Structure 1
Amino acid sequence: MKQQEMDLIHGPLSSNIWRMAIPLALTGLMQQFFNAADIAMVGRFVDAQSMAAVGSNAPLITTLLSLFIGLSIGTNVVLARFIGQGREDKVNDGVHTSLVMAFLCGLVLAGIGEIATRPTLLWLKTPPEVFSIAELYLRILFIEQPFLLLYNFEASIFRAIGDTRTPLLALSLGGVCKIALNLIILLLFHGGAGGVAIGSIIANIISSLFLFRHLHRSHTMFHVSFRRLKMHGDIVLRILKIGLPAGLQGIVFCLSNMIIQSALNSLGPTVMAASAAGYNIEIFVYYMMYAMAQVNTTVVGQNYGAREFSRCRKATRICFKQTAILSLILTAIILFFSDPLLSLFSTSPDVVEYGKIRLHYVVCFLWLNAILDIYAGSLRGYGNSLIPALITLIGICSVRITWVYIIFPLYPTMKTLMLCYPASWVVTNVVLAGVYHLYIQRLGK
């Protein structure tokens, strides 16, 4: 683990950012690849209704996860700042606190999910023909939440020292096991959507225990001792200060997406399946761009803790430039290969055509969302997580809700609905960019 640490306070910024971002982007890609594999295998080996049921659950799962994933961002920022300050004792306290928080939050999430599954699917107007499949899939999937959150918090611990390769290795190991299990369950035992969910549980257990073993065997300040596994009140408050607004921002983001999903459901199973396929391609692009924002948060957090303010601003500028290059390349690739990519999920011509609508109206404008993420990530690195959360609440949520309930009923097509994404990103970016630059000026560093 010591060999994977990176000097983000004194080392060259541009090359170190790339070295961190590439494994982090690959982690996001790998995570989405394994999620997309679930939908693709269900679509190929079961039926379109099961594919629609599994795919339409993504917004609900992401929404319930968002609050707790936000807390893992708090872990990243808090540990990065302690590292920048050279406070090894507080780093170790933070590691133990984070692990206990992760597992307890996972248990809470699992309980909430089991209670909320049926009423939420009813609220989303899930079609009767896929309702029972969606409910079974969700109920099984919520069992994995303690281990999924444990992996995410552990990954945040590794990212705080600049190590983004070990979490990638852990995810790859779990993901390969997941695909193998899914094929066995679907082809030999005809397990359907429920069987795919079981494969996800086992994969997350493998990934989280792999990282835990690395932390336990480490001889650095990140060493985990079973006897020291407890929550320290001051660390919890620091994590909540950063992570809670970030989590609430994620919830607002996802709630607006659930409203969009509800509108999509009203267009029928074919559009649902197409949107699920398009989303699982689109999200690959998003996570590659989002990697830069995550790295930016860590670099800003460490350098802000070390009082290296000029390096904080420089890191943000570098992330903007590198994201611009990345977005041009990725967008061109996705648009050029849209037909064969969508055909991986379904052989239905209608599903492919509707899926292309999502790619054309959303992927082409994902760079707007990348700008938003970098601004928000910078502010979190400085220790201010409330500002981007409030701006997201006002910008993203208000625009999308207005669009779905006022504009979409006038022109109830998939094209109309997809336009709400770039519209909300433009409004939010205008406000957030102004606030960010004002905040930097008032910081006076």
Structure 2
Amino acid sequence: MVTDMTKGNPSKTILKFTFPMLIGNLFQQLYNIVDSVVVGRFIGKDALAAVGSSFMLMNFFSFVIIGLCMGASVVYSYYFGEKNYSNLRRTIFFSFLSIGVFTVLLSIVLVLNTERMLLLINTPKSIFKDSQIYLQVIFAGLIFVYLYNVCSALLRSIGDSKTPLYFLILAATINIVLDLVFVIVYKMGVFGVALATIIAQAVSSILCLIYAFVKIPFIRLTREDMIFDREIAFTVGKFSFLTSIQQSIMTFGMVCVQGIVNTFGPDTIAAFTAAGKIDSIAYLPVQDFGNAFSTYVAQNKGAKKKDRILEGVKSASRTIIIFCIILSVLIFINSNNLMRIFVNADEINVIKLGVEYLSIISIFYILIGFLFMFYGFFRGIGELNVSLILTIISLGTRVLMAYILSSIPQIAQRGIWWSIPIGWGLADTIGFIIYKKVKKNILMNVEADNQENNAFNLEN
């Protein structure tokens, strides 16, 4: 269902739009978790470490593609808010074609160079072969990652966050069933886990594509829309490139951190994998809230409702504070029980390391909550360079501090855990300073618009 986010109560509008995105991403995380649980319990600790070690590389290249789609979605939202459907369709044509071609070429390069990448991140010999098998299957199916994300980004940009949810639920269900069948029944190991993921993504992406162009008339392409528009190509290229760089920097930072984690052996890798899954689910709501906020800001920018953008910032801040406090308490108290979902109770050291990670990170969820809000705000108003700068600060600080702190014997792995909130905090500080300057400019523009409207009314 299409939603115009330039009207109605900002808090209710953003939350209503966020909820289906959250449920959808929870299902997406669900089949990632099922992969880890099935691997950890039915294949073994080394296989879990192999999938975990591969996960960061998989995420890095997936988020390159997802970033391209997210960048294009900001342009979709702007034209939708402006009600310029002709430019919207031309943007759809260019972005679908260009990102699709890029994905195919990237997929081929990655499949051929998987072994070299695993060597670069210090993958232990004991898990090297399984990691290579898993990644090559995943990389071969990147076209489905592109197809789903480009379609879901389009639907969300015009206010439909429910439809992508339905296809994600379907994908999660297929993935869970195939995981169990391939691993437990047919003993296919990590190859079966990867294959189940690709099949699930293929089904959901193809159905999402069919739905979008059958059910929504004003995005259906005609021959007149299938042309190269230099201005649109430049705008899409700018937004997609910068957002992709931002997303890839985020995941590249985690790849670098994974490389440090790998030097501590399989127990630490397994703990980092399991705790990282829990962590990513915990702050998923504020991540989705930030993405929804980006759509809200972009639509209102297109509709030239600048005062409504600032009103949305206030409501978003209140929501983030409340939600992150609740999350921090829940994860901190239940960290031990959560770790036992992923690993057997006799893996005492793995559980201990994972609990240590969660006990440190969970205290600082409010920092990542505001960082996602800043990402959404600056992306929505078109200041993608600011989002990029904040990402570089956050991840650069994290990687640097992880290297420094973990090299101190008395700190060891704990240095990796502590580097994460340090990076969040520094990026938040810079983001707040820049936001105050942008807010001042927006207020001046709003005041100027009001004076102009008052003068016009007096004349009439």
- TM-score, normalised to structure 2's length? 0.92
**CA distance, structure 1, for counterparts of residue 223 and residue 148 of structure 2:** 17
Cα deviation code 1:53-90 (max 9, x no counterpart): 00111211122222222111212210111011110111
Deviates more, 1:307-316 or 1:210-219: 210-219
Equivalences for 1:288-437 in 2 at 5 Å? 288-347=285-344, 348-393=347-392, 395-411=393-409, 413-437=412-436
Structure 1 unaligned segments of length 5 or more: list them. Answer: none
Deviates more, 1:19-28 or 1:232-241: 232-241
**CA distance, structure 1, for counterparts of residue 106 and residue 312 of structure 2:** 35
Alpha-carbon contact 1:339-1:352 (below 8 Å) kept: yes
Alpha-carbon contact 1:243-1:385 (below 8 Å) kept: no
Task: Give the 3-state SS of the residue equivalent to 2:7 in structure 1.
Answer: coil
**CA distance, structure 2, for counterparts of residue 390 and residue 30 of structure 1:** 31
Q: Measure how far apart 1:242 and its partner are.
A: 1.7
What amino acid is aligned across from residue 372 of structure 1 in structure 2? Answer: L
Alpha-carbon contact 2:250-2:391 (below 8 Å) kept: yes
Alpha-carbon contact 1:215-1:224 (below 8 Å) kept: no
What amino acid is aligned across from residue 424 of structure 1 in structure 2? Answer: G
Q: Measure how far apart 1:150 and its partner are.
A: 1.2
Partner in structure 1 of residue 50 of structure 2: 53
For 1:161, which of 158, 163, 187 is the aligned residue? 158
**CA distance, structure 1, for counterparts of residue 216 and residue 53 of structure 2:** 44
Alpha-carbon contact 1:100-1:231 (below 8 Å) kept: no
Alpha-carbon contact 1:103-1:147 (below 8 Å) kept: no
Q: Measure how far apart 1:391 and its partner are.
A: 3.3
**CA distance, structure 1, for counterparts of residue 360 and residue 326 of structure 2:** 17
Deviates more, 1:59-68 or 1:201-210: 59-68
Mapped pair 1:283 → 2:300: no
Alpha-carbon contact 1:98-1:231 (below 8 Å) kept: no
Q: Measure how far apart 1:402 and its partner are.
A: 2.4
Q: Measure how far apart 1:109 and its partner are.
A: 2.6
Partner in structure 2 of residue 19 of structure 1: 16
Kindly tell me: are residues 101 and 303 of structure 1, through their superposed partners in 2, closer, same or farther at Cα, counting changes over 3 Å? same
Kindly tell me: are residues 436 and 50 of structure 1, through their superposed partners in 2, closer, same or farther at Cα, counting changes over 3 Å? same
Alpha-carbon contact 1:297-1:381 (below 8 Å) kept: yes
For 2:252, which of 252, 255, 259 is the aligned residue? 255
Equivalences for 1:254-273 in 2 at 5 Å? 254-273=251-270
Q: Measure how far apart 1:192 and its partner are.
A: 0.4
Q: Measure how far apart 1:311 and its partner are.
A: 0.7
Q: What is the number of residues matched between the two proteins?
A: 441
Partner in structure 1 of residue 114 of structure 2: 117
Kindly tell me: are residues 59 and 231 of structure 1, through their superposed partners in 2, closer, same or farther at Cα, counting changes over 3 Å? farther
Task: Give the 3-state SS of the residue equivalent to 1:11 in structure 2.
Answer: coil
Alpha-carbon contact 2:327-2:365 (below 8 Å) kept: no
Partner in structure 2 of residue 103 of structure 1: 100
Partner in structure 1 of residue 69 of structure 2: 72
Partner in structure 2 of residue 240 of structure 1: 237
**CA distance, structure 1, for counterparts of residue 366 and residue 58 of structure 2:** 24
Kindly tell me: are residues 112 and 155 of structure 1, through their superposed partners in 2, closer, same or farther at Cα, counting changes over 3 Å? same
What amino acid is aligned across from residue 312 of structure 1 in structure 2? Answer: I
Alpha-carbon contact 2:406-2:414 (below 8 Å) kept: no
Alpha-carbon contact 1:248-1:389 (below 8 Å) kept: yes
Q: Measure how far apart 1:12 and its partner are.
A: 2.1
For 2:132, which of 132, 135, 142 is the aligned residue? 135
For 2:4, which of 2, 7, 26 is the aligned residue? 7
Task: Give the 3-state SS of the residue equivalent to 1:337 in structure 2.
Answer: helix
**CA distance, structure 2, for counterparts of residue 164 and residue 431 of structure 1:** 31
**CA distance, structure 2, for counterparts of residue 397 and residue 161 of structure 1:** 31
What amino acid is aligned across from residue 264 of structure 2 in structure 1? Answer: L
Q: Measure how far apart 1:231 and its partner are.
A: 6.2
**CA distance, structure 2, for counterparts of residue 184 and residue 352 of structure 1:** 28
What amino acid is aligned across from residue 35 of structure 1 in structure 2? Answer: N
What amino acid is aligned across from residue 371 of structure 2 in structure 1? Answer: L
**CA distance, structure 1, for counterparts of residue 305 and residue 224 of structure 2:** 36
**CA distance, structure 1, for counterparts of residue 195 and residue 221 of structure 2:** 29
Alpha-carbon contact 2:52-2:273 (below 8 Å) kept: yes
**CA distance, structure 2, for counterparts of residue 219 and residue 295 of structure 1:** 20
What amino acid is aligned across from residue 400 of structure 2 in structure 1? Answer: T
Q: Measure how far apart 1:226 and its partner are.
A: 9.7
Q: Measure how far apart 1:224 and its partner are.
A: 5.1
- Structure 1 runs of 4+ aligned residues shifted over 3 Å read 224-234
Structure 2 unaligned segments of length 5 or more: list them. Answer: 446-460
- TM-score, normalised to structure 1's length? 0.95
**CA distance, structure 1, for counterparts of residue 355 and residue 423 of structure 2:** 21
Cα deviation code 1:312-362 (max 9, x no counterpart): 111122122112222122222222222222111111222211111121122
**Aligned residues: CA RMSD:** 1.8
What amino acid is aligned across from residue 400 of structure 1 in structure 2? Answer: R
**CA distance, structure 2, for counterparts of residue 360 and residue 225 of structure 1:** 55
**CA distance, structure 2, for counterparts of residue 202 and residue 229 of structure 1:** 31
Equivalences for 1:72-221 in 2 at 5 Å? 72-221=69-218
